[in-house]
Structure formats: C-alpha cells, structure tokens
Amino acid sequence: MKRVSKATCLIFAVVALSAARVQSQQPVSIQSLLREMGDRDQVARYPKADFRLKQASSYDRASKTPDDPKGWFSNIDRNTSDKHHNFVRTEENRGRKEWVVMEDEGPGAIVRFWVPWRDQLKPGSDILIRFYLDGASEPALEGNMFDLFQGKGLIPFPLAHESLRSAVSFFPIPYAKSCKVTLSDHPFFFQFTYREYDEDVDVKTFSMEAFRSAKSSITATCDSLLNPAKAAVGDVIKLKETLGGGQEQSVSLREGAAAVQTLSLKLGSYDDANITRHVVLKISFDGKETVWCPIGDFFGSGLGLNPFQGWYRTVDSDGTMTSRWVMPYQNNAKVSILNLSEEPVVVELTATVGDWKWDSSSMYFHADWHGQFPVPTRPYSDWNYVTLKGRGVYVGDTLTIMNPVERWWGEGDEKIFVDGETFPSIFGTGTEDYYAYSWGGRSTDFYEHPFHAQTFSHKYNKLSRKPKIDEKNTQGFSTETRTRALDTMPFSSSLQLDMEVWSWTDCEMGYAVGVYWYGDADTTSNRKPDPEEVLNVPVVPEIKHPKPRSK
C-alpha cells in the first residue's frame, strides 16, 4: 500500500475544510438577505459569507489623489454631458442608447440604491432603469427609475421609499456572476451600494419568478421593520438615580456569556436641549470600555429630545430613548452614566440581557464620539469620523452639525477606505446623499425611516436668534443619522471613514459624530473619551457662533 505524505494529508484536509465551509453556508438569495436584514443578532457576528461593500456613484472623476487638493475636492459629481461624464460608458442596445452606471463581475448583491429628483421640488422622470444580471441580454428588472423605488410600486415601503426629494431602496438584488445597471437617459446623481462576495459563495440570481416566490418574506420583513419594538427576552436590570454635576453611576449586568438585547434611558427633564450632549453613556464588556458617547449621539436624537423610530433605535415623545443594538460579551459587563453638566439630572436606565452563544465570529459593540469646533470650511478638508484597526464591521453613525450661515453646508462626499486601500472603495456625492436625502437641508425638514433619518433641524435667524421658516435657509443645527443592515461594512484589517467639509461659504462650523461598530477584542479606534471636547462643541440654545469670514 502506497504511503501518503504529511503534505498530501494537509492538502486533503484543507480541501475538505473548504468544501465543508461552502456546504455549511446557505445560498445567498432574496429570502436569505431579507432574513439577514431583519436579524439584529446577525450584525454582532462577523459575516460567514465574507464580502466587501462597494459603491458605484457619480462622484467627480477629477478626484484621484489627496496630493492634488483641487481635484480631490472637485464637486462636479453629476453628469453634465457625454464629454464630462461620471458614468461607466454608453451602449447601443436594440437601437436604443443606454448609459451604464454600475458594472460588477463576480457574485454580489445590490443592497442600497439612491437617486435624487431632477426637479428639486417634486418627483418625475421618464428615465428607465434596467438591471442586467449574469451577462443576460434582457434585463431581469426594469421600470421607471422613481416609480420602482418610492415604495408605492413593485418594491413596497419601507424596502423602498420616497425620502426628502429622493428615492431610496434597500431591496436586495443578488447576482451569481455579474451585474450591469443602465439608464435610458443622461444620468444625474446616483449611488449603487453593493456587496462583492468571495468567488466560492453560492448566490441565487434575482429574477421576477424569485421575487414572486419571496412575497411572504418581503411582507414579513416590511412588517418587522415597521414594528421594531419586539419584546426582548432576558433578565431586566434597572437603575434610577439623581446624578449631580460631574457624577457617575454604574450598574453591573449578569455574569457569563450573554448579550444586551435592549437598553433604554430616560432623563427627568429635557428642558435644556444641551442635556443630551452632556450626559454620556459608558459601557464596558469583559473589562474593556467600548462605548463612550453622549446619549443624543448614541440614540440618534441629537441635541434635545427629538422623537423618531428606527430599526435599531427609537426615541419616544415621553422621553424614553431605546437602543436595540445587540451587545454580546463573554464574562461580564457594566453600564455607566456620566453627567458632565453642572446641574443634577434624574436618570432611569433599563437593560434587558439575554442568552448568547459566544464563538469566533462574535464581536463587541462599540460607540465612539468625536467633536470639533471650530471647523474651518476653507481650505477644503476631509473630516475624519473614525479610523479603526483590526477586524470588525461598521454599522452606523449620527452627525450633528452647526452651520453659522444660511447657505448650504453639506456638499462634502464620504470617502471610505477599507483594508488599506489607497483610493476609497466608497466615494459619495454629498453628505445629505449619504444620509439618503437630497438638494440640501430645509428649515422644516424632518424625516424618518428604519435605517436613516433627519431627527433634528433647528434653524435660526442670525439677527433675532429665533427659528426662521425659510425654504433655503440651512443656518443652525441639524442631526442626520444612518444605520446599516445589509449595507454594513466588514473590514479585516482597517477602516477609515472621512467626510469632506464642503460648504458654499467660507466660515467656521461645528461638527460632532457618534459612530457605531463591532470589533474583536484587539480591534482599536482612534477615538478616545474626551469630556473637554464634548463641552467645547456648540450646543442649543446658547448660540454664540462666529460671524462668517466672508460671503
């Protein structure tokens, strides 16, 4: 009998393990992606079917390197003509001209689509969108670009919906081999966010037959997203204290492997809107502090009490702020409340802690905070939300800005570098586009959706310091928030998220952001607790903003 070498045995073992890995994974399909969207436990584990999130957008192609600031901050992120185009190419197909706006080879899935109205005030367009999958000559899905993705047609709300002057879709469109998206007319602004899977991941390509077969899953997912407050099961831990200025109070959670399922916080009063910035939530898991964030930025309320409902968080009009981020740990956990204000504050805290099976895919939840004032708008710059080192998954953020002038502040694009990229795999078209609306802020703007919202918009007249109703006035404070389900961003070694500071006016702004992510025990963030930084960023109602340096 021929002897088998150790090397050969090792090869056989690796092949067998790889085959077992593929067989153990369920195929990626419309139904599996919808189940994943509605499973909050899923984001607390590193994905089994590893992927990288990518984005095809109309960003300005003059932006090539930070070494060329003029090009890097160029703002022609729309298509003005075939000579200046931010799309892939044009094609002739059956006698018609089509503009290719996204193209990907290999298995993947589109998980977010955003497009603004061409008319700033109302929807309307005759542009047809076509999705060609796996090299097919006929589109698997086609229709009016806005009608398809406003939540009133084929794709139901809230999987697709009409945002502020935009159409947005989170409906997954998986493909096994390739995807090409075209428009029937000159594209304007656009973003297609998609997953790129490893080659060995089994993906079931979208078809209308598969769509019809997924009807019950679609209905169940919509119902779940619109009714996120399902009762959590587990031990309930409560704390009620009056914290004096500068005081901190803590409560320990149950020991052993477990996970925080819900965390609710209510203050005795929100009369001073600053209180949601000056009260800080701190959480430690297995002896390491991973959450240090003002409560307004953690729960998405911004400055003051601003009710809204989302998939991961809800802020109620009675003052209760609830988080449904799943936060697992192996041995122990501690939740603390820190009052950085000078006045006493009544705090009620409730945590529900349930069972959790810890394994190699389990990750710790983090919430970091970063604020800065002043932030000059000239010269143009990239403002870093966070830089992470190690393995993890980025899952959301809440941005609160102070704009001292009436003109629009949010032209800046997100630039997201993953695993050491020299050029961002996600390059956006504007800060408001990142948060799923368009054509700038308005004095009366408020919107909410399971995965994004503008929860706070306090506009003021720079002379009277009173709120002012003005369609184009974006002076004052606003809070934008975005959380992720299918569009989470896994990283194996690093992630850097920058947002351009790009205002139409040379002035000094205030920026503050809370960021949410999961990571291994040794994954690190460049954001550290800084009470002085919290107290330095402008808050409401004390508005002592500098005058614009120029108009």
28's tokens: 């990626």
pLDDT above 90 (res 80): no
Average pLDDT, integer, range 436-448: 79
Give me the residue label for tokens 């939530």: 281
Task: Give residue 99's pLDDT.
Answer: 93
Residues 450 and 455: their CA atoms lie apart, in Å, by: 12
pLDDT above 80 (res 153): yes
With a pLDDT cut of 70, the percent of the chain lying above it is 88
Higher pLDDT, 422 or 126: 422
pLDDT above 90 (res 38): yes
pLDDT band at 518 (very low <50, low <70, confident <90, very high): very high
pLDDT band at 287 (very low <50, low <70, confident <90, very high): very high
Query: What residues contact residue 459 under an 8 Å CB cut-off, 6+ apart?
Result: 443, 467, 468, 469, 470, 473, 474, 475, 476
pLDDT above 50 (res 463): no
Which tens digit of pLDDT belongs to each residue from 155-208?
Answer: 999 999 988 888 899 999 999 999 999 999 888 899 999 999 999 999 999 999
Question: Which helix (H) or strand (E) element contains residue 37?
Answer: helix 30-37
pLDDT above 80 (res 90): yes
Q: Is the dihedral of CA 517, 520, 525, 530 positive or negative?
A: positive
Residues 299 and 311: their CA atoms lie apart, in Å, by: 12
Q: DSSP for 66-103, please give it.
A: TTSHHHHT----S---SSS--SSEEEEETTEEEEEEEE
pLDDT band at 18 (very low <50, low <70, confident <90, very high): very low
Task: Give residue 549's pLDDT.
Answer: 43
Which tens digit of pLDDT belongs to each residue from 333-389?
Answer: 999 999 999 999 999 999 999 999 999 999 999 999 999 999 999 999 999 999 999
pLDDT band at 122 (very low <50, low <70, confident <90, very high): low
pLDDT above 50 (res 282): yes
Nearest to 517 by CA among 392, 386, 424, 416: 392
| pTM (predicted TM-score) | 0.92
Calculate the alpha carbon distances from 365 to 24, 279, 304, 400 in Å: 26, 20, 25, 22
Task: Give residue 442's pLDDT.
Answer: 66
Q: What's the CATH superfamily of 33-226?
A: Protein of unknown function DUF2961 (2.60.120.1390)
Task: Give residue 419's pLDDT.
Answer: 98
Contact 477, 43 (CB under 8 A): no
496's tokens: 């850097």
DSSP code of residue 152: B
Nearest to 106 by CA among 135, 131, 129: 135
Contact 214, 167 (CB under 8 A): no
Nearest to 110 by CA among 154, 161, 57: 57
Nearest to 295 by CA among 311, 326, 318, 273: 273
Three-state SS sequence of 198-249? CCCCCECCCCHHHHHHCHHHHHHHHHHHHCCCCCCCCEEEEEEEEECCCCEE
Residues 418 and 384: their CA atoms lie apart, in Å, by: 14
Length of the chain: 551
Mean pLDDT over the full length of the chain: 90
Average pLDDT, integer, range 258-281: 97
Higher pLDDT, 492 or 118: 492
Strands 258-267 and 320-323: antiparallel
The number of C-alpha atoms within 13 Å of 90 and in the hemisphere containing its C-beta is 15
Nearest to 321 by CA among 429, 199, 455: 455
Contact 337, 345 (CB under 8 A): no
Average pLDDT, integer, range 408-428: 97
Strands 313-315 and 320-323: antiparallel
Higher pLDDT, 419 or 147: 419
Q: For the ranges 228-242, 412-426, 535-549, which has the lowest average pLDDT? A: 535-549
Question: Which helix (H) or strand (E) element contains residue 395?
Answer: strand 392-403
**Which part of the chain has CATH 2.60.120.1390?**
33-226, 235-536
Torsion, CA 14, CA 19, CA 24, CA 26, rounded to 10? 140
**CATH fit for domain 235-536, picks 3.40.50.1970, 2.60.120.1390, 2.120.10.30, 2.30.110.10:** 2.60.120.1390
Nearest to 436 by CA among 196, 173, 161: 161
Nearest to 454 by CA among 264, 278, 308, 295: 308
Chain-centre distance for alpha carbon 361: 21
Task: Give residue 469's pLDDT.
Answer: 45
pLDDT above 80 (res 545): no
Nearest to 72 by CA among 373, 396, 422: 422
Task: Give residue 440's pLDDT.
Answer: 82
Task: Give residue 343's pLDDT.
Answer: 95
pLDDT band at 475 (very low <50, low <70, confident <90, very high): confident
pLDDT above 70 (res 83): no
Task: Give residue 344's pLDDT.
Answer: 97
Using DSSP's 3-state secondary structure scheme, residue 461 falls into coil
Chain-centre distance for alpha carbon 374: 25
